[in-house]
Structure 1
Amino acid sequence: MPTSTDARTLLQTVVPTAAAGAIAAVISGVVAGGKGALGAVVGTLVVILFMGIGIVILQRTAKHLPQLFQAMGLMLYTTQLLVLFVFVAAFKDTTLFNPKAFAATLVASTLVWVAAQARAHTKAKILYVEPEPSDARKGEKTGPST
């Protein structure tokens, strides 16, 4: 179950990415017609899906295996970028939508996602240490005992 911070971070990355995708769809629609707009929408959805899954995996790793967080993050982002390149290569000759609009939107949406995620993380109030419960301190004595 994601915490409110996790949900807020996800929301703060999805909304700007979706907005960038909507702008890309309008521009692609004007430049390349309906297939261009469709390519932009599909590109945006692919980025939101893959990057969203990645952020959920990374947040769960941070909670359960914090010692693996950095390595997992590097591996995850590298894998995501490689998968996105595979998508561009796989759909380069498609006739379902405009592949150039798809590829351009995929790159732009990925950049917006990463920037929004960095901003969300910078603005988040994340504790670096876990505070002790106040109940544990009730029995402790403070100050010098004489």
Structure 2
Amino acid sequence: MLYQTYLESDLSDQFERMRRQMDSLFGAWPSISSIRAAAAGSFPATNVGASAERVDVYIFAAGIDPNSLDIQLQQNLLTFSGKRELKSQENATCYLSERFNGEFRRVLTLPEDIDSEKVEASYRDGVLHVIVQRREAVKPRQIQVK
């Protein structure tokens, strides 16, 4: 009988084989524990933090020539793109490659109150640091009680 062949084999092996096939077609899916985790696996990894004065964006881009990075800010959308070149040796066989190579592009939505005219970017030790100041009008102001 047909159903016996499926029951006789280990069902978890069947699911594992199906998962590997799906990963090969669509890429590995991260386990999603939150909506923000859906972006896990994006390259390059990025941290965004903010204070009352500014927004700090840290882009972990080791092995990328900083001169090849294209960074643009339009309204509150920060776009950065670039390319990490694969450096391979002649007559060498690669058995495992976990590092991302090729072109990339990320778009981040920053808070609405940023000042797109006050932006700085620096690259050090494989980390691109972009600082975007907030507009003066929206910064909190201390009001003295008389």
TM bucket normalised to smaller: under 0.3
The TM-score, its normalising length taken from structure 1, stands at: 0.28
Which structure features the higher share of strand residues? 2
Larger Rg: 2
Higher relative contact order (CA 8 A, sep 6+): 1
The TM-score, its normalising length taken from structure 2, stands at: 0.28
Which structure features the higher share of helix residues? 1
